[in-house]
Chain A
């Protein structure tokens, strides 16, 4: 009898040891591959999966492979909640999220379940650990991006009078959220604010807005749209002889803009959080190898960086002991000036401040190509956290 118990114990121990040897770290990925934001969701998701392939090919997390469980939730919050339940039952330790709606809906769940989330929604309140303790991003919030853009144009303003600034945005949280912060900062910098215009994300014509803007005669117009509406705005601006320059938010300024707006978008400005494909940074060689030299949108690089930073958190957690959601969060909060191979500005998180950095890349379109201009850094001011 004792012999039989010993045999069973040995077999069980072998099986358990064996299963540990084949353990993987599971990560959920919420992607919009077919929904309304899929034109940018697809390259972002590809960046995430390519980064995991790169990490796994280079030793994983302390020898453990990362397994992605990807769900196309088509930008539907209910589907995101269902997918999250599935992820949780499969034992994920972290999540790569996507939009504002789903990130917002999941804040309470991920906090309760202690699962860190990296999303591509940069609403300022996700940066405040008091409101969203398990939320992380690799790009500064929309307000910080806007402030950095304003600082860039003010620093390059040569005339003695105050530059005039107007705002064009969709009546959606993405467009509305950073307005208050930007207006306050614009006043601090000495801009003269001339007015606001609403432009829907599916606009086919921006004439009414531009005719109103022409009356206000701004030097610069901040645009909180996506590429299709921004392209309409810029083409109509050229047609109507509008003289101001546009300063475009992160989702309205990418490689598609030049294709859609043609020469009308040349010389305007836009904010970005990751490098442009082919930019002279140390990690570009890795990206070119992963993509076999096929150019990708900047959103791809952002997805890649988001995953790279998450993996760095996992590695730190592994070095401290076991990799769990809680240990990843704690490890991330000790991250200081982590350089994601130059593909984005250096990243730091603090227990009371999840803003990844205060540095924003300003880009322009030159000869039909998105081009990096300058990284603008702002101070990590506590009064801006979550606003």
Chain B
């Protein structure tokens, strides 16, 4: 039993990082109906900025963290203004291709400035594990989970109670109606890219503290995609739960396959198996909006 409890707890902490990255996907999709294939590279860019400030410029970690968030806001605005705004009204495939191009550009820029070597953050938190229900968990994982929970709470309140959050929801629901009510659609788009860049950066910084960073970090975007589809592309709650479910599922499938079938390696494919099943059974995900089209 302790074995499975350990698997579940570790699945939850890793899943909380998936949730954070999934949140970035959802916020952009919710407001703009664009799936951002550069999400993983935005994670990477934030991680590298924080790394540079902390290690190369020797700034205190907290200050580096805050500056990185400001940088992410600027990145979000630049991406929206320079790359995506000119594409308003263009076919969705063009926008998707542009996000794929953006991922290559961000990756190339990181390689130009920092090369391809693995970079490691100095240990910010203690290395000794903390016992949770008698099970050892690394402090960085606990910090990651707490931060993720906090961010989800903040964004949930923001979308539910703030006028800007309500404007974003209105835009996501019906862009034309929102515009006719005086909501600045373009500013809403920019804001959604800013928020996505900020949460991605936080995810990148957490990952950097867990296992270092390199220019391949962008692959995380693909890894998180099943969590986004599972939760529903336009649901914040879906992103949170989707990430956690995928994290736990990966670990449990590995443990069960080992115990019942004496087979290893299920962890690597479990999330994609779920992705295929979800697309077949519930293509809009657990909490996604089901669109009804009249033909």
Contact = CB atoms under 8 A, between A and B. Distances in A.
B147 to A, nearest CB: 16
Prevailing SS type, chain A contact patch: helix
Interface stretch (B61-69, B115-123, B189-197, B225-233): B115-123
B134 to A, nearest CB: 12
A207 B138 CA distance: 11
A228 B212 contact: yes
A200 B268 contact: yes
Interface in B91-147: 108, 111, 115-118, 120, 123, 127, 129, 136-138
B120 A259 contact: yes
Nearest to B219: A202
17 contacts: A34-B108, A34-B116, A39-B117, A39-B214, A171-B268, A198-B264, A198-B268, A200-B267, A202-B216, A204-B211, A205-B10, A205-B14, A205-B251, A212-B258, A228-B214, A239-B138, A241-B136
A259 B268 contact: no
A374 B80 CA distance: 57
A41 interface: yes
B7 A207 contact: yes
Interface of B: 3, 6-7, 10, 13-14, 17, 108, 111, 115-118, 120, 123, 127, 129, 136-138, 207, 210-212, 214-216, 219, 223, 251, 254-255, 258, 264-265, 267-268
Given A196-B264, A208-B251, A262 B116 contact: no
B22 to A, nearest CB: 15
Given A200-B268, A202-B216, A204-B210, 19 more contacts: A34-B108, A38-B116, A42-B117, A171-B268, A202-B223, A205-B13, A207-B10, A208-B7, A208-B251, A211-B3, A212-B255, A212-B258, A228-B118, A228-B211, A240-B6, A256-B118, A259-B118, A259-B120, A263-B127
A260 interface: yes
Nearest to B207: A204
Q: Closest 6 A-B residue pairs measured CB to CB?
A: A198-B265, A38-B116, A208-B254, A198-B264, A207-B10, A239-B129
A197 B257 CA distance: 11
A200 B266 CA distance: 10
